[in-house]
Structure 1
Amino acid sequence: MKNTMQFPQPSAIALAVLALVAQSQAVAQDNVQKEIQQVVVTGTASASGTRKIDTSFSITTATEEQLKQAAPSSTADVLKIVPGVYAEATGGQSGANIEVRGFPSGSDSPFVSVQMNGNPIFPVPVLSFFEGSSAFRLDDTIERVEVLRGGPSTIYSSGQPGATMNFIMKKGGDEPEGSLRFTTGTGSLRRFDGVYSGKIADGWYGMIGGFYRTTNGVRDAGFPADDGGQLSASLTRKLDQGELTVYARSTSDKNAFYTGVPLISSNNGHTISSFPGFDPLRGTLMSNEMRNFTVEAGPGKTLTYDLGDGRGLSSNLVGADFQQKLNGWDVSNKFNYFKGDLNTIAMFTGNNPLSAADYVSQAITSANGNAAVVAAAGAPATSGAITYTNGGGTVAGNQQVVQAGLWAVEKKLRSFTDEFRVSKDIGNDNTITAGAYIANYSSHDVWYLGNSHLMTATPNARLIDVKLNNGAVVSRNGTDGNVFYAPIASYDGRNTAVFIADEWRINDRIKVDAGMRHEKQHISGSISNLTSVDPDNNALTVYNNGTSTPSGSFTGLSRDDTANSFTAGGLYKLTKDSSVFMRANQGHTFIYFDDLRNAGTQDVVNDRNRVPTPKVTQYEIGYKTATPLYSAYVNAFFTDFTGISFQQITTSGVLYSVSGSHGKGVEFELALRPLKGLQLQLTGDWQDSTYKDNPTIAGNQVQRQPKFQYRFSPSYRLPIGDYALRFYGTYSHIGARWADQQNTQYLPSYNTLDLGILAELSDKLEFRVTGTNVNNSLGLTEGNSRLVGASTGPINARPIFGRAWEASLTYRF
């Protein structure tokens, strides 16, 4: 007997599939149409922008709602939604380290520029104790963000060859609208956001908004981690075939800065576990006991600082954006003026944990090895007393202790930038753009680095005093180390650039463009010469011997550089809403103030001019498409660097090096909408970047950057009557990295899970709950950057934040 099986009719299967696809497409059509028609303005020749899908470069965008779903802990943390970028936002609101795929950087964010409305907030992306995201606070006055990677950015604005992060402010419209939002959460968070915009009079529109927030933070130091607020406003005048918008923002915000905590490293750094008694996800060494600390800056000169000030921002920003059509010409001008204090009053961990008994033993050896101390004491030490600074009492010999510097860096920044450009269609869809850019900026610094303090290796640590039996004082009021670097410096910079670009739409399918930029930079500075002193003229107080202090004389520094940048790209449209593109560019970064200082303090005549102007060459090839069922943005990249300078501030001084690198990889943004209300999104990158040109590290992996990282973000909208619930989440994988150029400090991979729910309660009311790192993953963003080489056993390193929750209620009107 023949065995047969019954299958549904092919026509029924086809009809079912077609019905499902048709349903998905109908639901997703509105959102996808917005995506397809979305216009971006960052990196485009025309000030009016270009459809995202028609750009021949890689750019990521996020709306206000997408930003809220990402639940960033800081401005830098926004970059976690961008493939090819790894942001170490574990320091808190400020002081992030941001790495761009294939771009070698050891700290801060030298290859990321932060803009508002197309203007760089500060034209230099990084200085010591400053990186661009520290000068910006995210709030509900922001409409969207655009993040351009590579592409034509080498010729526009500040000429950033890495990533340009452009925040676009809301403007007033014909219909008045506003919102009020209250947020609470982990760390006793209390935050109020508000914004209102609308029509003021015929042709006049306005927007005003801001926030105020206070929180103890996920890592509770016993005092507010973040305390402050911001007020922003804009005024728009509609013109005949044009528009003028002026805007202003004032920020006053104090933000605690978090560095490493005690951990246990084993298996050559491949396994990281908790230090006994210390929660690495929520703990911090900072405490009220050390909140107000003293810096002994010289004979008769003591200064008091507050750790609660952290890496804060006190600034004012004003700017304008003008666009106008004049007799076939598109004219655009953008300018801003920024002035602010971005001080760093923070703890920086030093040597790895050890027992109190071992610390005293090492202190005895060190003191007895110093002839001046032994002579002043009259005899070598044989023992020591170790007691708590507050409350007295002997510290047990097996108590684990650590050293951490309480540093103070006062930094006053000022800048003015202006970019003017004109564009004209000269026929046959060929548009020429020409422009000029100017930036004037300055930084005035007072530094006190070192100032080591001895404390227990416990959350909210206690300070410790140590005195040897021959009278030598190793630690007094917790202070066990001098200020080892205390320069006073003033720097000024001026950049001028001209650029020209040509964009030619050959036919409906092919578009090509090319451009070049010529830029000059002049920087100068005056930095104090330093000498070492004993502030109390007492050799027995060993904790302050050899204190660094200005000698009263200064060294003048200056340098002039000129560089050219190029870009060329092409786009071929496969269909109306899909395309492939190719791009090549050559860019540069100039020497910044700190490079000038580092070289000048070694050999003013020779080293200053031997530091090269860093150059980068990039090649990209990509594919873009967006349909109701799916969208895809995929880009392969190749990078080559020369002349990148690095600095590392260790427990004993500052190390410098120069090298190059080369890299390759693929980054991707993919989305699938298979069912009604459901979206599955996958973003990430794979890269292989290594050092070159420096024989001590050539062939090593570029530090801090994972070879592979991705974010899987599903979301589902469930209609309930006239309203809906939206469930969303993100599973993130960060691959293993090396913390240092020598590839000795291993940072294991880690995975985190974020969850959220948005409830539409009415036409005007919504409730949102978000949780980050809900799986309490222990992941490291850096090792002990104060030390060189690998360590096992007790270490200091900086982990990600533990589980945190936020709940917000928003009223729209």
Structure 2
Amino acid sequence: MTGGIRFLACSLIALSTAAAAQQAAPKTDESKAPAQDAPQDIVVTAVSRGQNLLKSAVSVSSLSADAIAQSAPRSTAELFRNIPGIRAEASGGEGNANISVRGLPVASGGAKFLQLQEDGLPVLEFGDITFGNADIFLRADTNIARIEAVRGGSASTFASNSPGGVINFLSKTGETQGGAVQAGIGLNYGEYRFDGDYGGKLSETVRFHVGGFYRQGEGPRRAGYDGNKGGQIKANITKEFTGGYLRLYGKYLNDRAIAYMPNPVRVTGTDADPHYTDLPGFSITQDTLHSRYDTRNVTLDGDNRPATHDLRDGQHPLVKAVGLEGKLDLGAGWTATERFRYADISGRFITNFPSAVDRADATAVALGGAGATARYFNGPQAGQAVPGDAYLARVVVFDVSLNSLNNITNDFRLNRSFQLGGGALDVTLGFYKSRQTINTDWLWTSTLLAVQGGGRAALVDVRNAAGTPVTENGYYAYSATYFGDCCRRSYRLHYNVNAPFASFSWNLNALTLDASLRYDFGNARGRIAGADLGGGRVGVQSFDINGDGTISAPETRVAVLPLGSAAPVHYNYDYLSYSFGVNYRLRDDLSVFGRYSRGARANADRLLFGPAVRTSDGGLADSSAAVDFVTQAEGGVKYRAGGIALYATGFYARTEEQNYEATQQRFLDRKYRSYGVELEGNVKRGIFQLSAGGTWTNAKITADPLTPAVVGNKPRRQADFTYQLAPELSWERVSLGASIVGTTDSYTQDANKLKLPGYTTVNAFVQVRPLERVQLSINANNLFDVKGFTEAEDATIPANGIVRARSINGRTVAAAVRLQF
């Protein structure tokens, strides 16, 4: 780790030295000319309208389409690791990542305080819907022109429910005539992928772009079947006219990708100095608790009818979206901007989660009592005894039907500039409206699975000392019995969000002052059903699942939804957000800025099934529970000239958090404080280019009435320092480079006992262009095959030394050929 930090420090010093050299160089006539705004200097995310980077008091980073391809990502979350200030736990597969910014907590899952957008509108209104995280429904492909990330600042007032920041995927819209097709293959893992896109002009005033991808294969871990299968297509068409434009667009996403959960790993040493090693026959970086012998989940559906679901669906987003975007000159200096999108969203989330892992002999006794034995139910050893020193996982199958996460969103703005006090006052008035549906069913079961890699793990049955079956076909229960029979749930909810907002930005020569306000008001309506609502509701009963006329042991443990005693959800909320900023441009290439903001996030489904909402009438038992506030201060310096850019930002934030974590089955009510420094820079000199970034964060829990023992501790999984480096060499025919991402140690849980070791991972690429329109490439993700742990369920090393943890994927190498036309 020390070497990685030194490498980053030296890189930033080198950038600073290059900047100083650039400044000291004699000025030519060309250098005296007024600075012109390059496209990458214009910020369009979480601002009133496009602004010059050096004139705006915001912290923003951008990833170009080339930078995205060269970083060799295997998931969307892996892209975010290249953005300073963003903490993306990219270990869950294609989606389901935990994402945060600047020390704001990841108390449960998803991206609570950070919004993911496509073309300026949210993918989902809430980024942490349980088993419906926003990144599940977002794919990075060749349709992307660039990704912009705004941290803090104006994100509080130019988007709802995103006080920490916004990451915006901006699509190509046909400005450049032409396109490309690319075919790729995994060289040491199972993946075949095809990408293509094309755009250009249909006439002098009409342009279009269309593109997408399809892929199929086992994926970066050995599952024993094609775990990743599906694709996406996106298209848009733009009509330009005097004073504006109108754009129509559509998206169809139908994809399946394994959701990787924590896997078992042996931990020796102490909590403060742990050593993580693989279990026999199971690699923590290459394997997963999925298998060709475990592909079905038998359960009751949302109407309490027997159903069988395919575990190979994994994360299965099905998205059909249409939208429009337009800009119109209304006359008298007023401009109107309109963005609208309707997204029909559904699918499934289904995966294996280990509630406990132990030796086979100990597990058999735990489930069947003294003298119990375990035998393989299926696979090549079906019927044979499981060796006592083999390992078994008591698996809770997270089977969730995403019946509807439909989202309709509209953002309307009016803008005009006025002359005031010798300067220009830019005024924006707007109204935001969205409606988010959360219609899901949790249909969990409990199975017993051998811990074996290579996608060959078999289901296991247990018999007690008398030979009576305790399990059936690998099922211990048709409920989450391993979790105390919790979590058979049904949500039928609608969230309405309304937000008028206003922004005022005054510019006089080098000085820019801005202020913005946003008033969010909304409501939650619907009903929820579940045994863990309390009040004597039905939870577990006997049910003849297989219809054979007899009740087996697992069939005495069948979870049902108490549909006849659902509880209402019926409450309103409102909150005010504001942000004030100042930017002073010392020179054309140098500016300083400061900002103070207060934003908030309205809680959604994670607020339910707890004490905050009354089950009698659906109202709030605690009026403050509906909204969590974040206050932030930031200030920094920006330099950009002659192929060199340097940014440094100090930040301070206070955060409220009320949440529910499904795997730990606990409610949270906390306050946090974090402060730190972000550094970012890049330089380009001839054939060499280097981008570097680092974030130092000091975060702690400042209040917790439910668990006061953790007050003063560091939030779980929050590292002191994270960093990114991307060196590149490029000639006419050849380019090569790397993307280096690292983190220091953190703690698995808020108790601050067991540590997650720091790590550095290297992604590398080589591109060869033998012909003008042909490119051959090879890239490696996690080139040195390091173990990089992002989370663990256990707060301390268990007695048996088996910790359930998620690591980043091991080394994967892919090759591709690209044809441009």
TM over 0.5: yes
* AA matched with 1:740: Q
Larger Rg over CA atoms: 1
User: Aligned residue for 2:354?
Assistant: 349
Aligned to 1:9: none
CA shift at 1:434, angstroms?
Answer: 0.7
The answer to whether 1:533 aligns with 2:547 is no
- Alignment-mate amino acid for residue 341 of structure 2: N
Give the aligned residue type for 1:473.
P
Q: Which runs of 4 or more aligned residues in structure 1 lie more than 6 Å from their structure 2 counterparts after TM superposition?
A: 17-26, 297-300, 537-540
Q: Deviations over 1:504-550 (max 9, x none)?
A: 002x2111100111110101121124312122499994444443212
Decide which of 268, 273, 280 is 1:276's aligned counterpart.
280
2:558 matched residue in structure 1: 547
Give the drift of 1:610.
Answer: 5.9
How many Å separate the matches in 2 of 1:25 and 1:213? 52
Counterpart AA for 1:568: F
Q: Which residue of 1 aligns with 2:815?
A: 807
Contact 1:25 1:629 (8 Å CA) reproduced: no
* CA drift at 1:788: 5.7
Matched, 1:468 2:464: yes
Is 1:571 equivalent to 2:583 in the alignment?
Answer: yes
Aligned to 1:8: none
1:759 to 757, 761, 768: 768
C-alpha displacement of 1:497: 0.9
Q: 2:23, 2:623 → 1: CA distance? A: 67
Which residue number in structure 1 is paired with residue 298 of structure 2?
294
Indicate whether 1:582 and 2:594 are aligned: yes
**1:692: which partner in 2?**
702
Counterpart for residue 618 of structure 1 = 632
Residue number in structure 1 paired with 2:440: 445
In 1, Cα distance between equivalents of 2:116 and 2:301: 35
- Structure 2 partner of 1:376: none
- Select the residue among 375, 389, 398 that pairs with 1:407: 398
Contact conserved, 2:573 with 2:626, CA < 8 A, in 1?
Answer: no
* Alignment partner of 1:303 is 2:307: yes
- Letter matched to residue 543 of structure 2: P
Contact 2:86 2:99 survives alignment (8 Å): yes
Distance 1:452 1:660, change over 3 A: farther
Amino acid at match of 2:398: W
How far off is 1:272 after superposition? Answer: 1.0
Cα-to-partner distance string for 1:205-225 (whole Å, 9 max, x where unaligned): 111111111121111211112
User: Residue 811 and residue 298 in structure 1: after superposition, are their counterparts in 2 closer, same or farther (change >3 A)?
Assistant: closer
Classify 1:490/1:219 alpha carbon distance in 2 versus 1 (closer, same or farther; 3 Å): same
- Structure 1 pair 294/738, CA: closer, same or farther in 2 (3 Å)? same
| 1:497 and 1:519 in contact (8 A); partners too | yes
Residue 450 (structure 2) pairs with residue 455 (structure 1): yes
Question: Residue 35 and residue 172 in structure 1: after superposition, are their counterparts in 2 closer, same or farther (change >3 A)?
Answer: closer
Contact 2:299/2:444 (<8 A) preserved:
no
Deviation at 1:325, TM superposition (A): 2.2
1:377 aligned partner: none
- 2:475 is aligned to 479
1:383 aligns to 2:392 (yes or no): no
Please state whether the residue corresponding to 2:753 is helix, strand or coil: coil
Equivalent residue of 1:76, what SS? helix
Partner of 1:431: 426
Is the CA contact 2:493–2:526 (under 8 Å) kept in the aligned structure 1? yes
Among candidates 316, 321, 338, match of residue 325 of structure 2:
321
Moved more, 756-765 or 251-260: 756-765
Give yes or no for contact 1:557–1:600 (8 Å, CA) kept in 2.
no
SS of the residue aligned with 2:154?
A: helix
Closer, same or farther: CA 610–453 of 1 in aligned 2, 3 Å: farther
Q: Measure the CA separation in 2 of the matches of 1:156 and 1:712.
A: 30
Q: Are residues 1:778 and 2:780 paired? A: no
The 1-side partners of 2:205 and 2:764 are apart by 43
- On the 8 A contact 2:592/2:638 being kept in 1, the answer is yes
Change beyond 3 A, Cα 1:456–1:509: closer
Aligned-pair CA distance for 1:36: 7.8
Partner of 1:636 in structure 2? 650
Q: Which amino acid aligns with 2:406?
A: R
Q: Distance in 2 between matches of 1:589 and 1:316?
A: 27
Contact 2:501 2:519 in 1 (8 A): yes
1:250 aligns to 2:252 (yes or no): yes
- 5 Å matches for 1:598-677? 598-599=610-611, 604=616, 607=621, 609=623, 611-628=625-642, 630-642=644-656, 644-650=657-663, 654-673=665-684, 675-677=685-687
Question: Which residue of 1 is the match for residue 14 of structure 2?
Answer: none
Write the letter of the residue equivalent to 1:678. F
C-alpha RMSD of matched pairs (Å) = 2.7
TM-score, structure 1 as length reference: 0.89
Aligned equivalent of 1:81 = 82
Alignment of 1:70-149 (within 5 A): 70-106=71-107, 107-149=109-151
Equivalent position SS for 2:224? coil
User: Residue type of the partner of 1:419?
Assistant: D
Please say if residues 641 and 662 of structure 1, whose CA atoms lie closer than 8 Å, have aligned partners that are also in contact: yes
Aligned length: 763
User: 1:73-97 deviations in whole A, cap 9, x for unaligned?
Assistant: 2222211111111111211111111
Distance in 2, matches of 1:291 and 1:419, equals: 43
CA shift at 1:799, angstroms?
A: 0.9
Shift of the alpha carbon at 1:472? 4.1
Offset of residue 724 of structure 1: 2.7
Residue deviations 1:172-194, cap 9 Å, x none? Answer: 23x63111111111423111111
Gap runs ≥5 in structure 1: 1-16, 366-381
Q: Tell me the equivalent position of 2:798.
A: 791
The letter for the 2-side match of 1:42 is T
Alignment pair present for 1:38 and 2:45? no
User: 1:558 matched to which residue of 2?
Assistant: 570
2:276 maps to a residue whose letter is I
Offset of 1:663 from its aligned partner? 0.6
Q: Which runs of 5+ in 2 are unaligned?
A: 1-19, 480-484, 532-537
- Tell me if the contact between 1:345 and 1:406 (Cα under 8 Å) persists in the aligned partners: yes
Give me the identity figure in percent: 24
- Between the aligned partners of 1:629 and 1:582, the Cα distance in structure 2 is 25
**Pair 1:246–1:36, CA change in 2 (3 A):** closer
The yes-or-no answer on 1:398 pairing with 2:389 is: yes
Select which of 215, 222, 225 maps to 1:223: 225
Q: Measure, in 2, the Cα distance between the counterparts of 1:18 and 1:419.
A: 45
CA contact (8 A) 1:214 1:228 kept: yes
Q: Distance in 2 between matches of 1:420 and 1:247?
A: 17
User: In the alignment, residue 558 of structure 2 is paired with which amino acid?
Assistant: T
Tell me by how many angstroms 1:259 deviates: 1.0
Specify the code of the residue in structure 1 equivalent to 2:816: S
Decide whether the 8 Å contact of 2:82 with 2:741 is kept in 1.
Answer: no
Specify the alignment match of 1:419 in structure 2. Answer: 411
Asked if the contact 2:116–2:134 (Cα under 8 Å) also holds between the matched residues in 1, the reply is: yes
Letter in 2 for 1:104: P
- The AA in structure 1 aligned to 2:503 is A
Contact between 1:472 and 1:541, CA under 8 Å: does it hold in 2?
Answer: no
TM-score by length of 2: 0.88
